[in-house]
Structure 1
Amino acid sequence: MDLHLNTTHMWALVIGLVIGLAFFLLALRAYWSVSREFRRYKKMLGDKMELEHRQLNELSKEREKFLKENENLRLQVARLNDRTDNKVQREMEIYARAEKQMNISAPGFAPAWEIAKSQALTQLETEERGNSFPQRMFRKLVGGNATALPAEAAATATAKNGHAQSYDQQDS
Protein backbone atom coordinates (compact mmCIF):
# COMPACT_ATOMS: atom_id res chain seq x y z
CA MET A 1 0.00 0.00 0.00
CA ASP A 2 1.40 3.13 -1.15
CA LEU A 3 0.11 6.28 0.64
CA HIS A 4 1.23 9.03 -1.55
CA LEU A 5 -0.67 12.26 -1.63
CA ASN A 6 -1.02 13.60 -5.05
CA THR A 7 -2.10 17.12 -5.98
CA THR A 8 -5.75 16.18 -6.24
CA HIS A 9 -5.77 15.03 -2.68
CA MET A 10 -3.91 18.14 -1.54
CA TRP A 11 -6.37 20.43 -3.28
CA ALA A 12 -9.33 18.55 -1.77
CA LEU A 13 -7.74 18.88 1.68
CA VAL A 14 -7.07 22.60 1.25
CA ILE A 15 -10.57 23.27 -0.11
CA GLY A 16 -12.10 21.28 2.78
CA LEU A 17 -10.03 23.23 5.32
CA VAL A 18 -10.98 26.56 3.71
CA ILE A 19 -14.68 25.67 3.68
CA GLY A 20 -14.43 24.44 7.31
CA LEU A 21 -12.61 27.63 8.31
CA ALA A 22 -15.26 29.73 6.54
CA PHE A 23 -18.07 27.92 8.39
CA PHE A 24 -16.13 28.27 11.64
CA LEU A 25 -15.71 32.03 11.08
CA LEU A 26 -19.42 32.40 10.23
CA ALA A 27 -20.37 30.50 13.39
CA LEU A 28 -17.95 32.60 15.47
CA ARG A 29 -19.40 35.81 13.99
CA ALA A 30 -22.96 34.65 14.75
CA TYR A 31 -21.92 33.74 18.31
CA TRP A 32 -20.42 37.21 18.88
CA SER A 33 -23.52 38.84 17.42
CA VAL A 34 -25.84 36.82 19.67
CA SER A 35 -23.70 37.42 22.76
CA ARG A 36 -23.59 41.18 21.99
CA GLU A 37 -27.38 41.24 21.60
CA PHE A 38 -27.80 39.22 24.80
CA ARG A 39 -25.63 41.72 26.72
CA ARG A 40 -27.71 44.58 25.27
CA TYR A 41 -30.98 42.89 26.32
CA LYS A 42 -29.56 42.19 29.75
CA LYS A 43 -28.61 45.87 30.16
CA MET A 44 -32.04 47.00 28.94
CA LEU A 45 -33.74 44.64 31.39
CA GLY A 46 -31.57 45.92 34.24
CA ASP A 47 -32.43 49.52 33.35
CA LYS A 48 -36.13 48.69 33.11
CA MET A 49 -36.11 46.93 36.47
CA GLU A 50 -34.30 49.89 38.05
CA LEU A 51 -36.88 52.34 36.66
CA GLU A 52 -39.76 50.17 37.85
CA HIS A 53 -38.14 49.92 41.29
CA ARG A 54 -37.89 53.72 41.49
CA GLN A 55 -41.51 54.11 40.41
CA LEU A 56 -42.63 51.51 42.94
CA ASN A 57 -40.72 53.31 45.70
CA GLU A 58 -42.28 56.63 44.70
CA LEU A 59 -45.75 55.08 44.66
CA SER A 60 -45.25 53.48 48.06
CA LYS A 61 -44.02 56.79 49.52
CA GLU A 62 -47.03 58.56 48.01
CA ARG A 63 -49.33 55.84 49.36
CA GLU A 64 -47.85 56.21 52.85
CA LYS A 65 -48.29 59.99 52.62
CA PHE A 66 -51.93 59.55 51.61
CA LEU A 67 -52.52 57.01 54.38
CA LYS A 68 -51.14 59.47 56.95
CA GLU A 69 -53.19 62.28 55.47
CA ASN A 70 -56.30 60.07 55.47
CA GLU A 71 -55.73 59.14 59.11
CA ASN A 72 -55.25 62.80 60.06
CA LEU A 73 -58.44 63.76 58.24
CA ARG A 74 -60.33 60.89 59.85
CA LEU A 75 -59.16 62.01 63.29
CA GLN A 76 -60.11 65.59 62.48
CA VAL A 77 -63.60 64.48 61.37
CA ALA A 78 -63.98 62.42 64.54
CA ARG A 79 -62.83 65.38 66.66
CA LEU A 80 -65.26 67.70 64.88
CA ASN A 81 -68.08 65.17 65.27
CA ASP A 82 -67.44 65.08 69.02
CA ARG A 83 -68.25 68.78 69.36
CA THR A 84 -71.74 69.33 70.76
CA ASP A 85 -72.93 71.62 67.98
CA ASN A 86 -71.84 69.06 65.39
CA LYS A 87 -73.55 66.26 67.33
CA VAL A 88 -76.79 68.21 67.27
CA GLN A 89 -76.39 68.95 63.57
CA ARG A 90 -75.66 65.26 62.88
CA GLU A 91 -78.70 64.19 64.87
CA MET A 92 -80.84 66.70 62.97
CA GLU A 93 -79.54 65.24 59.70
CA ILE A 94 -80.50 61.75 60.90
CA TYR A 95 -83.99 62.94 61.83
CA ALA A 96 -84.42 64.75 58.50
CA ARG A 97 -83.44 61.66 56.53
CA ALA A 98 -85.65 59.44 58.68
CA GLU A 99 -88.59 61.82 58.26
CA LYS A 100 -88.13 61.84 54.50
CA GLN A 101 -88.06 58.03 54.47
CA MET A 102 -91.19 57.94 56.66
CA ASN A 103 -93.12 60.24 54.36
CA ILE A 104 -92.25 58.01 51.44
CA SER A 105 -92.90 54.61 53.01
CA ALA A 106 -95.68 54.83 55.63
CA PRO A 107 -96.89 58.17 57.05
CA GLY A 108 -98.22 57.97 60.59
CA PHE A 109 -96.77 54.57 61.45
CA ALA A 110 -94.39 54.56 64.48
CA PRO A 111 -92.43 51.31 63.86
CA ALA A 112 -91.66 52.48 60.35
CA TRP A 113 -90.31 55.70 61.89
CA GLU A 114 -87.85 53.73 64.03
CA ILE A 115 -86.76 51.62 61.06
CA ALA A 116 -86.29 54.72 58.92
CA LYS A 117 -84.32 56.42 61.70
CA SER A 118 -81.99 53.43 62.07
CA GLN A 119 -81.56 53.23 58.26
CA ALA A 120 -80.66 56.91 58.17
CA LEU A 121 -78.17 56.38 60.98
CA THR A 122 -76.47 53.46 59.22
CA GLN A 123 -76.42 55.41 55.95
CA LEU A 124 -74.77 58.36 57.67
CA GLU A 125 -72.26 56.06 59.38
CA THR A 126 -71.29 54.44 56.08
CA GLU A 127 -70.80 57.88 54.55
CA GLU A 128 -68.60 58.90 57.47
CA ARG A 129 -66.54 55.73 57.05
CA GLY A 130 -66.08 56.51 53.37
CA ASN A 131 -68.50 53.96 51.91
CA SER A 132 -70.93 56.38 50.26
CA PHE A 133 -72.01 55.77 46.66
CA PRO A 134 -69.95 58.61 45.09
CA GLN A 135 -66.87 57.48 46.99
CA ARG A 136 -67.37 53.86 45.93
CA MET A 137 -67.69 54.95 42.30
CA PHE A 138 -64.58 57.10 42.65
CA ARG A 139 -62.66 54.12 44.07
CA LYS A 140 -63.83 51.90 41.21
CA LEU A 141 -62.59 54.44 38.69
CA VAL A 142 -59.35 55.36 40.44
CA GLY A 143 -58.74 52.30 42.58
CA GLY A 144 -57.88 52.10 46.24
CA ASN A 145 -58.81 50.44 49.47
CA ALA A 146 -62.42 49.42 50.10
CA THR A 147 -62.70 51.12 53.49
CA ALA A 148 -61.44 54.45 54.70
CA LEU A 149 -61.26 53.49 58.39
CA PRO A 150 -59.04 50.84 59.95
CA ALA A 151 -60.84 48.10 61.85
CA GLU A 152 -60.04 49.43 65.30
CA ALA A 153 -61.18 52.95 64.38
CA ALA A 154 -64.40 51.53 62.93
CA ALA A 155 -65.00 49.64 66.18
CA THR A 156 -64.42 52.86 68.15
CA ALA A 157 -66.83 54.74 65.90
CA THR A 158 -69.43 51.98 66.29
CA ALA A 159 -69.01 52.05 70.05
CA LYS A 160 -69.49 55.84 70.07
CA ASN A 161 -72.54 55.56 67.83
CA GLY A 162 -73.92 52.80 70.05
CA HIS A 163 -73.77 55.19 72.99
CA ALA A 164 -75.42 57.90 70.92
CA GLN A 165 -78.15 55.45 69.96
CA SER A 166 -78.81 54.55 73.59
CA TYR A 167 -79.28 58.27 74.37
CA ASP A 168 -81.79 58.48 71.52
CA GLN A 169 -83.68 55.51 72.89
CA GLN A 170 -83.78 57.09 76.36
CA ASP A 171 -85.31 60.26 74.88
CA SER A 172 -88.07 58.24 73.15
Structure 2
Amino acid sequence: MDFLKSVFTSPAFFGFVGGLVVGLGFFASAVWNHWKTKRELKRYQRHLSDKLEIEAEHVSGLRGKLDELRTENENLRLKVSSGPIQDSAQQLERELEIYARAEKAMVLRAPGFAQAWESAKEAAHEEIREEERGKSLPRRIFRKFFSSTAEPAKQLTVKESEPAAAGAAKPAPTSAEKIETAAETEA
Protein backbone atom coordinates (compact mmCIF):
# COMPACT_ATOMS: atom_id res chain seq x y z
CA MET A 1 0.00 0.00 0.00
CA ASP A 2 2.84 2.27 0.74
CA PHE A 3 3.94 1.76 -2.80
CA LEU A 4 0.62 2.88 -4.19
CA LYS A 5 0.53 5.79 -1.84
CA SER A 6 3.97 6.86 -2.95
CA VAL A 7 2.98 6.52 -6.62
CA PHE A 8 -0.22 8.53 -6.20
CA THR A 9 1.53 11.26 -4.24
CA SER A 10 4.49 11.64 -6.56
CA PRO A 11 4.68 14.78 -8.72
CA ALA A 12 5.12 12.67 -11.87
CA PHE A 13 1.73 11.07 -11.30
CA PHE A 14 0.11 14.46 -10.92
CA GLY A 15 1.80 15.59 -14.13
CA PHE A 16 0.60 12.46 -15.92
CA VAL A 17 -2.97 12.87 -14.70
CA GLY A 18 -2.92 16.57 -15.53
CA GLY A 19 -1.64 15.81 -19.04
CA LEU A 20 -4.26 13.10 -19.44
CA VAL A 21 -7.04 15.51 -18.42
CA VAL A 22 -5.74 18.19 -20.78
CA GLY A 23 -5.40 15.58 -23.58
CA LEU A 24 -8.95 14.36 -22.99
CA GLY A 25 -10.14 17.97 -23.13
CA PHE A 26 -8.39 18.48 -26.48
CA PHE A 27 -9.76 15.16 -27.75
CA ALA A 28 -13.31 16.10 -26.72
CA SER A 29 -12.89 19.49 -28.40
CA ALA A 30 -11.61 17.81 -31.59
CA VAL A 31 -14.54 15.36 -31.63
CA TRP A 32 -16.99 18.24 -31.06
CA ASN A 33 -15.45 20.28 -33.91
CA HIS A 34 -15.49 17.20 -36.15
CA TRP A 35 -19.23 16.69 -35.56
CA LYS A 36 -19.86 20.40 -36.03
CA THR A 37 -17.94 20.35 -39.32
CA LYS A 38 -19.85 17.26 -40.48
CA ARG A 39 -23.18 18.96 -39.76
CA GLU A 40 -22.06 22.09 -41.59
CA LEU A 41 -20.88 20.01 -44.54
CA LYS A 42 -24.26 18.25 -44.72
CA ARG A 43 -26.01 21.62 -44.58
CA TYR A 44 -23.82 22.92 -47.42
CA GLN A 45 -24.52 19.78 -49.45
CA ARG A 46 -28.28 20.26 -49.03
CA HIS A 47 -27.93 23.92 -49.95
CA LEU A 48 -25.85 23.01 -53.02
CA SER A 49 -28.30 20.33 -54.17
CA ASP A 50 -31.22 22.77 -53.79
CA LYS A 51 -29.31 25.40 -55.73
CA LEU A 52 -28.42 22.93 -58.48
CA GLU A 53 -32.06 21.84 -58.77
CA ILE A 54 -33.21 25.44 -59.09
CA GLU A 55 -30.53 26.20 -61.67
CA ALA A 56 -31.38 23.02 -63.60
CA GLU A 57 -35.03 24.11 -63.79
CA HIS A 58 -33.96 27.57 -64.92
CA VAL A 59 -31.54 26.20 -67.53
CA SER A 60 -34.15 23.79 -68.89
CA GLY A 61 -36.60 26.69 -69.16
CA LEU A 62 -33.99 28.76 -70.98
CA ARG A 63 -33.21 25.88 -73.33
CA GLY A 64 -36.89 25.48 -74.14
CA LYS A 65 -37.18 29.20 -74.78
CA LEU A 66 -34.02 29.11 -76.91
CA ASP A 67 -35.40 26.24 -79.00
CA GLU A 68 -38.67 28.12 -79.42
CA LEU A 69 -36.82 31.25 -80.53
CA ARG A 70 -34.67 29.21 -82.92
CA THR A 71 -37.74 27.71 -84.59
CA GLU A 72 -39.38 31.14 -84.76
CA ASN A 73 -36.19 32.58 -86.23
CA GLU A 74 -36.05 29.80 -88.82
CA ASN A 75 -39.71 30.38 -89.74
CA LEU A 76 -39.11 34.10 -90.13
CA ARG A 77 -35.98 33.45 -92.18
CA LEU A 78 -37.96 31.19 -94.49
CA LYS A 79 -40.72 33.79 -94.81
CA VAL A 80 -38.22 36.49 -95.68
CA SER A 81 -36.31 34.31 -98.14
CA SER A 82 -39.48 33.16 -99.90
CA GLY A 83 -40.85 36.68 -100.29
CA PRO A 84 -40.49 38.58 -103.56
CA ILE A 85 -37.39 40.60 -102.86
CA GLN A 86 -36.06 42.83 -105.61
CA ASP A 87 -32.33 42.50 -105.34
CA SER A 88 -31.08 44.69 -108.13
CA ALA A 89 -31.77 48.12 -109.49
CA GLN A 90 -31.78 46.74 -113.06
CA GLN A 91 -34.67 44.44 -112.21
CA LEU A 92 -36.60 47.38 -110.77
CA GLU A 93 -35.89 49.52 -113.82
CA ARG A 94 -37.03 46.71 -116.13
CA GLU A 95 -40.30 46.28 -114.20
CA LEU A 96 -40.85 50.03 -114.24
CA GLU A 97 -40.29 50.18 -117.99
CA ILE A 98 -42.78 47.33 -118.53
CA TYR A 99 -45.42 49.14 -116.46
CA ALA A 100 -44.76 52.44 -118.23
CA ARG A 101 -45.20 50.87 -121.66
CA ALA A 102 -48.36 49.04 -120.56
CA GLU A 103 -49.80 52.26 -119.14
CA LYS A 104 -49.04 54.18 -122.32
CA ALA A 105 -50.69 51.49 -124.44
CA MET A 106 -53.80 51.46 -122.21
CA VAL A 107 -54.10 55.26 -122.27
CA LEU A 108 -53.95 55.26 -126.07
CA ARG A 109 -56.24 52.25 -126.69
CA ALA A 110 -58.93 52.30 -124.02
CA PRO A 111 -61.40 55.19 -123.95
CA GLY A 112 -62.12 56.34 -120.41
CA PHE A 113 -59.13 54.48 -119.03
CA ALA A 114 -57.03 57.63 -118.77
CA GLN A 115 -59.38 59.35 -116.31
CA ALA A 116 -59.75 56.26 -114.12
CA TRP A 117 -56.02 55.64 -114.29
CA GLU A 118 -55.13 59.20 -113.32
CA SER A 119 -57.52 59.20 -110.36
CA ALA A 120 -56.17 55.84 -109.15
CA LYS A 121 -52.61 57.06 -109.60
CA GLU A 122 -53.34 60.25 -107.68
CA ALA A 123 -54.90 58.22 -104.84
CA ALA A 124 -51.80 56.01 -104.76
CA HIS A 125 -49.54 59.10 -104.70
CA GLU A 126 -51.53 60.53 -101.80
CA GLU A 127 -51.30 57.24 -99.91
CA ILE A 128 -47.53 57.14 -100.44
CA ARG A 129 -47.22 60.75 -99.25
CA GLU A 130 -49.14 59.89 -96.08
CA GLU A 131 -46.90 56.89 -95.47
CA GLU A 132 -43.77 58.97 -96.01
CA ARG A 133 -45.00 61.54 -93.53
CA GLY A 134 -45.41 58.71 -91.02
CA LYS A 135 -49.19 58.82 -90.81
CA SER A 136 -49.66 55.23 -91.92
CA LEU A 137 -49.39 52.65 -89.13
CA PRO A 138 -47.64 49.89 -91.14
CA ARG A 139 -45.11 52.39 -92.47
CA ARG A 140 -44.31 53.62 -88.95
CA ILE A 141 -43.91 50.08 -87.67
CA PHE A 142 -41.67 48.98 -90.52
CA ARG A 143 -39.63 52.17 -90.25
CA LYS A 144 -39.00 51.48 -86.55
CA PHE A 145 -37.88 47.91 -87.11
CA PHE A 146 -36.05 48.05 -90.41
CA SER A 147 -34.61 51.55 -90.63
CA SER A 148 -31.09 51.97 -89.30
CA THR A 149 -31.30 55.76 -89.35
CA ALA A 150 -34.30 58.01 -89.01
CA GLU A 151 -35.23 59.22 -92.47
CA PRO A 152 -36.93 62.60 -92.69
CA ALA A 153 -40.15 62.81 -94.66
CA LYS A 154 -39.49 63.38 -98.35
CA GLN A 155 -40.33 66.86 -99.58
CA LEU A 156 -42.46 66.68 -102.68
CA THR A 157 -41.77 68.96 -105.58
CA VAL A 158 -44.47 71.08 -107.15
CA LYS A 159 -44.58 68.73 -110.13
CA GLU A 160 -45.32 65.69 -107.92
CA SER A 161 -47.80 67.38 -105.60
CA GLU A 162 -50.00 69.00 -108.27
CA PRO A 163 -53.22 67.04 -108.72
CA ALA A 164 -54.32 66.23 -112.24
CA ALA A 165 -56.69 68.72 -113.80
CA ALA A 166 -60.29 67.59 -113.46
CA GLY A 167 -61.28 67.82 -117.12
CA ALA A 168 -57.98 67.39 -118.91
CA ALA A 169 -56.04 64.18 -118.99
CA LYS A 170 -52.45 64.57 -117.98
CA PRO A 171 -49.98 63.27 -120.59
CA ALA A 172 -48.42 59.96 -119.65
CA PRO A 173 -45.00 60.36 -118.07
CA THR A 174 -42.04 59.04 -119.95
CA SER A 175 -40.06 56.04 -118.85
CA ALA A 176 -37.22 58.24 -117.65
CA GLU A 177 -39.61 60.26 -115.46
CA LYS A 178 -41.04 57.07 -113.97
CA ILE A 179 -37.58 55.66 -113.26
CA GLU A 180 -36.62 58.96 -111.65
CA THR A 181 -39.78 58.94 -109.51
CA ALA A 182 -39.24 55.31 -108.49
CA ALA A 183 -35.62 55.98 -107.58
CA GLU A 184 -36.69 58.93 -105.42
CA THR A 185 -39.34 56.93 -103.59
CA GLU A 186 -36.95 54.01 -103.11
CA ALA A 187 -34.23 56.21 -101.60
- What range describes the TM-score normalised by the shorter chain of this pair? 0.3 to 0.5
Comparing both structures, which one devotes a greater share of its residues to helix?
1
With CA pairs under 8 Å and 6+ residues apart, which has the higher RCO, 1 or 2? 2
Q: Whose Rg is larger?
A: 2
**TM-score, normalisation: structure 1:** 0.48
